[in-house]
Structure 1
Amino acid sequence: MKQRLVQLLTGAALLPMLFGTSPTPEPQTEHRVRGNILRTSGGPKQNYVVALQAYPRWYGADSIVTLPQNSAPSTAVTDSSGAFTLSVRSWRVDSVRVVVSRPDAPLLASSVWMVPVSVQAVQAEQTYDKPGCAGCGTVTETGLFTSHYLADYPAVTVVVPE
């Protein structure tokens, strides 16, 4: 009798987990950095490639990686004024820095390590079918979930040596 009671209580506890709404994946963080490039000679500032490097939480403390983008380029190319905007969606990291390069030179300059000024949760709607009463079928409901986080960093100026 006691064994049967334990089985019923375990089944009652597991039932909502088995037939609940589907879980959403862990939200990624969109890292947004704006800035510009200055050249010490004052020459043209266009066509520099700008990327983000980070200290990720999932590697060791001494690992530095360039943040990848899933379906879009993770780099920006500066315009004639040297301005750039980077928006990279990746997992959470401790800090980032801007790295500037050209095709003929692997690494020209980098900024200091930065932490976000603000991190905001971006909400999205999810529609799912919830089982109704016996014989009623399903009921469509809409709920909010965190789709991703938006981390804004301070504007950065990178000086490129000649």
Structure 2
Amino acid sequence: ALRSAFSGGLVRVEHSNLTLLDDMYPGDLSGAFSARARQRIASSGHHPGFFVPMSGRTALTDPGPPFVPQLSPLEGTVSYTLRALELRRILADARAAAVPFTLTYRPLFGAEGDEAWRKHDRSGRAVTVTEDGGGVQECAYAATGKVCDADELACLPEPPMVGSWLGVEAAYE
């Protein structure tokens, strides 16, 4: 159980089809680079992704062209880490918008770690949340299919309003 409304540590979102959040998480702005630039980055041994998490929450208005990059050219799902508090806020936003979605996340134990730890840690059990947009929610532990415990992050209520200003998120492939 959480010790406070703000506890819960970090989670890695491993999959989501929640398009409502595409401009926020993982904040993929890779389309801002030309194909040639991405190729040069990749040829030097780096991931060609460019991520600016929270850009959708921090920009008060849509700046419009030429500042809006093209859709991401990256293929596949990009996992990303967030504070548990932000995961609860994401779920509250999705529920308020009444859109169907599936989201899989995994708690990361501990509060610190490098990018490799955030990307590869498997110590927490994966949780899959599926909602139909009409209030029907399913939450299960991915490995066993067991229904989530009542104190699982996905089952908790929306965080307090002050939680809207807390959190530092980082995307990782």
Indicate whether the TM-score tops 0.5. Answer: no
Higher relative contact order (CA 8 A, sep 6+): 2
TM-score (norm 1): 0.27
Structure showing the higher strand proportion among its residues: 1
Structure showing the higher helix proportion among its residues: 2
Larger radius of gyration: 1
TM-score (norm 2): 0.26
